[in-house]
Structure 1
Amino acid sequence: MATITREEALEYHKLQGKPGKISVIPTKPMLTQRDLSLAYTPGVAIPVLEIEQDADASYEYTAKGNLVAVLTNGTAILGLGDRGALAAKPVMEGKAVLFKRFADVDAIDIEVDSRDPDVVIQVARAISPSFGGINLEDIKAPECFYIEETLRSLLDIPVFHDDQHGTAIISGAALLNGLELVGKQIAEVKIVVSGAGASAISCAELMVKLGAKRENILLVDTRGVVYQGRQEGMNPYKERFAAETEARSLADAVRGADVFYGLSVKDILTPEMVKTMAERPLIFAMSNPDPEIRYELAKEARPDAIVATGRSDYPNQINNVLGFPFIFRGALDVRARTINDEMKVAASHALAALAKEDVPDSVLRAYNLESLKFGPDYIIPKPLDPRVLLWEAPAVARAAIESGVARKVIDIEEYRQQLAFRLGMGEQIRYYILNKAKSAPRLMRICFAEGEESKIIRAAYQIMDENIGEPILIGRADVICQKISDLGLSCTPRIIDPLHYERFEEYAQAFYLLRQRKGITLKDARQRILDPNVFGPMMVKMGDADAFVSGLTYDYPDVIRPALQIHHTKPGTQRAAGVYIMIVNDRTYLFTDATVNIDPSAEDLAEIACLAADFAQQLGIEPRVALLSFSNFGSTIHPLSLKVKKAVDLIRQRRPELMVDGEMQADTAVSPEIIQERYPFSRVSDANVLVFPSLESANIAYKLLARLGNAQAIGPILLGIGAPIHVLQTGEEVRNIVNIAAVAVMDAMSRQP
């Protein structure tokens, strides 16, 4: 798994001059005096009076119905132990952004500075009117059990300790599917749980709810098997699983066991122990980042085993992010009074069922798989599967309604459609690109022109650490190595100095042959090949690299001109073009062309639009293409608007399968309401690929949106070049250099035979 440096982690948490990971954004207009009067005094008095009369009105007039408190006292922070309330804040903010990122649930972190569980209960109870639910986090056992049980009895909103129930629900889904594959009945299997903390106890309890027999479960803690009559290290929660058994050690317990649940410490389960388990065992080694037994060792010892871990670099990842965002989504949307066992079981069954469905192409592309189907290496959905929201949240909502804890009864099919509308791509695009790059059959070699720059070196470190690709740094080895040392990085990227490269003369000769009829002599070629922006593309040409990235310290033409001279455009393509991925809140747009073609003709616009639409499909986005102008469908007759109209006609002739329309104004393109009211004949509504009539309009638009609209821009991404060549913006941040490198890898992968 990827390692994180101290410097990188601290920089991330103050990125762009904004400390922390969350902020508050108004959901209502705040532009006029009347807006302010409605938002606050005097207008705010009206909903106050309504809520006084009817408490449920708070769900209609405030954010309560979509707001969760992520509450801790910091007594069990990740694997760091008791570090206090304030130190837990980065973790709670992280949890809050996962709620938002995966299920569009707003969350606020609450750190309670007390180790007294009764104080935690008092605080949670006192603030509960503000929230639709409370997610308890990083509270040590056994206090966490007492706190959750007490709050559930006191409050009429969901209270959920994710450390307990999250892992239980996800692993429960994996258990159901794993047992189905090995042909065993849950009521008959022998189960061993290594660990007796909050998560382990909850996992064992949910197994019982799923059909396992309590007497078939052996709990093993640091003192050994939890057996009847044991006095040391016991508490009421362990007592529920005190077994009548002669087994005293983990080795004793796993002998003949069908299932192993690891929620303890790394390497505690040995290959020798695994060999004593029953035929076709399930081994869920979920300690993170280091499992109870390494995946490779488990499979080597028992090739017939189905193995799951908490890690993303092995099959069957048990990841809590498959649970809590969607469980709260469903609970909030029916205004549930609690999250009960029926809802947890429903979540497990929904995940188990989803794993048996046909996996969509977008998920296959994200993991670079030809196919993925239910089987020993796929018993649980992938964390980036967007369908989880559409399966799990409705299942939880239905269970809440059927078990009588929902205040609001909804039509589940209509609800599923509403959830689908929430599936804006947003940051998912970045994760998609990074995961696509990581899943390449082999590490793609990415050549960087500015290898001596600190930002490039730092990006190279991340690229290597996350297995995105194999960076090649062009520059002087002594300079680069010194900077690596100065930056405190532990990496050894490949470094090439053109002046001392063993194939220098071959490169010069090859470049000369390419440009000899363009005024280049062999002497000129030897000089030009020393330019990193020539040498890098030539590395791709000569098969020594798969992709080339430059532009951190160069102007755009300095990069693209030699790239076109060496590689030209792709076969069947007359023009190169540039596209930006613009992520605006939870929506994703492609802006083109903001970088290459200054004043494109109608023919150029048609080709640019097709290139951008094809790239959208590579990202798993179904393109809805709008060609922009100052005119709406002939409202203004002018040569500039007629050029755009002609481009639309050309696209329809060449690519009739594309969803494209224009000419139209920018607000028309992105506002379905305008299309519906004024232009219902348009073939495109809510466009996501925006083709601008000129470079200046596109460039201005993307920069204004990035600066004033807080949009995230990924790019520029070159399209139509004859090789994977990509350009950075001058002064780009390390994060975005990594993004472009991943795009370059994805581009290189798409060109592989």
Structure 2
Amino acid sequence: ETVKLIQPSFGGINLEDISKPKCYKVLETLKNDPEVKIPVWHDDAQGTGTVVVAGVLGGLNVVKKDIENITVAFLGVGAANTRTAYLLISAGVNPKNIIMVDSKGAIYADREDVVKDKDYDTFKYDLAQKTNPERKTGDLGDIIEGMDVLIAASRPVPGTVKKEWITKMAADSIVYACANPLPEIWPWDAKDAGARIVGTGRSDFDNQINNSLGFPGIFRGTLDVRASTITDEMCIAAAQALADLGAKEANERKVIPTMDQWELYPAEATAVGMKAIEQGIAKKQWEEKELYEHAELIIRRARGASEVLYEKGFIPKAPI
């Protein structure tokens, strides 16, 4: 009811810090309500998932593997990894090549507690039906052998992912330890254990995988075309734009652009807006070149205004 009341004054709604699985119900209810006319977005899930997918696509550019053939292990089945799994499947990962691990071990179709709670955590149950067809059991260390990619979004405790587990992964493995403020494994430990590409949620380490790389550009494109919702296809378009933008200079330490490369945001916005137009959910039509120029102008102006405010002291400098 709150969203319906305030929607005339806002172009979109961002949901933040809602616990799982309540966050799923809130998002799906609002997205499917015909009386809600503006896009609703859950950044902790959709934003993080989009940038992780971009990181996977960018990493695959470096290690020269095809997304259709890779195997993926997930540590954590919370909001972020749940949405990431769906996005990766939509992007081309075979769900049969995915195994997801929660605090009780690998999930699979008939795991007793997953089945018991299927009405409470429907997405976890659904993913259990789609993934891990061999019904492998045990913790991450038991199922990670030969995996190409590890995506962790669990506890912010280094050592949660053990070095000896990383050594079991396939050659040229990709490890994204996304817990904040501390990753599940220190990047240097993952590298020592054999991972070729390692990313975290932090800007002071290589390969930052953080939703701040996705949300601004995605919403810019959504608002510019006045899209009624934000689809998975729009998220994947943003992820592909990120990976494509970074492809020319992609290397093990930088698989996608960083936030200081602000040109990523109009590129994302354009990809998202054009996908919304293609899907028929945009109220405003644009040519691709014009949409890019429009997004770039708005972002450039905002950056310029912020720089003036910093220079004049109206915005205090960060206490570094």
Q: Do structure 1's residue 165 and structure 2's residue 42 form an aligned pair?
A: no
Consecutive unaligned residues of structure 1, counting only runs of 5 or more, are 1-121, 358-372, 429-582, 589-710, 716-732, 740-753
| Alpha-carbon distance, 1:586 to partner | 3.9
Letter of the aligned partner of 1:284 in structure 2?
Y
Q: Cα 1:736–1:133, aligned 2, differ >3 Å: closer, same or farther?
A: closer
**Residue aligning to 1:257:** 147
Q: How far apart in 1 are the matches of 2:293 and 2:239? A: 21
**Residue aligning to 1:609:** none
User: What aligned pairs does 1:202-601 form with structure 2 within 5 A after superposition?
Assistant: 202-232=83-113, 234=117, 235-242=121-128, 243-244=132-133, 245-265=135-155, 266=157, 267-302=159-194, 304-357=195-248, 373-424=249-300, 585-586=305-306, 588=308
**Residue aligning to 1:146:** 25
Letter of the aligned partner of 2:6 in structure 1?
I
Contact 2:73 2:149 in 1 (8 A): yes
Q: How far apart in 2 are the matches of 1:271 and 1:294? A: 9
Letter of the aligned partner of 2:2 in structure 1?
V
| Alpha-carbon distance, 1:129 to partner | 2.7
Contact 2:61 2:250 in 1 (8 A): no
Deviation per CA, 1:621-647: give whole Å up to 9, x if none: xxxxxxxxxxxxxxxxxxxxxxxxxxx
Q: Cα 1:123–1:239, aligned 2, differ >3 Å: closer, same or farther?
A: same
| Alpha-carbon distance, 1:232 to partner | 2.0
| Alpha-carbon distance, 1:130 to partner | 2.4
Q: Do structure 1's residue 123 and structure 2's residue 2 form an aligned pair?
A: yes
Letter of the aligned partner of 1:261 in structure 2?
I
Q: How far apart in 1 are the matches of 2:144 and 2:24? A: 27
Q: Cα 1:736–1:389, aligned 2, differ >3 Å: closer, same or farther?
A: closer
Q: Secondary structure at the match of 2:198?
A: strand
Contact 2:310 2:317 in 1 (8 A): no
What is the TM-score with the length of structure 2 in the denominator? 0.90
Contact 2:58 2:255 in 1 (8 A): yes
Q: How far apart in 2 are the matches of 1:178 and 1:712? A: 36
Deviation per CA, 1:70-92: give whole Å up to 9, x if none: xxxxxxxxxxxxxxxxxxxxxxx
| Alpha-carbon distance, 1:389 to partner | 2.0
> Which of 178, 187, 193 pairs up with 2:74?
193
Letter of the aligned partner of 2:142 in structure 1?
D
User: What aligned pairs does 1:174-193 form with structure 2 within 5 A after superposition?
Assistant: 174-193=55-74
Ranked by relative contact order (alpha carbons within 8 Å, sequence separation 6 or more), the top structure is: 2
Q: Cα 1:736–1:315, aligned 2, differ >3 Å: closer, same or farther?
A: closer
| Alpha-carbon distance, 1:736 to partner | 5.3
Q: Cα 1:714–1:586, aligned 2, differ >3 Å: closer, same or farther?
A: closer
Q: Cα 1:356–1:712, aligned 2, differ >3 Å: closer, same or farther?
A: same
What is the TM-score with the length of structure 1 in the denominator? 0.39
Contact 1:135 1:160 in 2 (8 A): yes
Consecutive unaligned residues of structure 2, counting only runs of 5 or more, are none
**Residue aligning to 1:713:** 311
Contact 2:44 2:80 in 1 (8 A): yes
Deviation per CA, 1:15-71: give whole Å up to 9, x if none: xxxxxxxxxxxxxxxxxxxxxxxxxxxxxxxxxxxxxxxxxxxxxxxxxxxxxxxxx
Q: How far apart in 2 are the matches of 1:218 and 1:738? A: 43
Q: How far apart in 2 are the matches of 1:246 and 1:329? A: 42
Identity %: 38
Moved over 6 A (4+): none
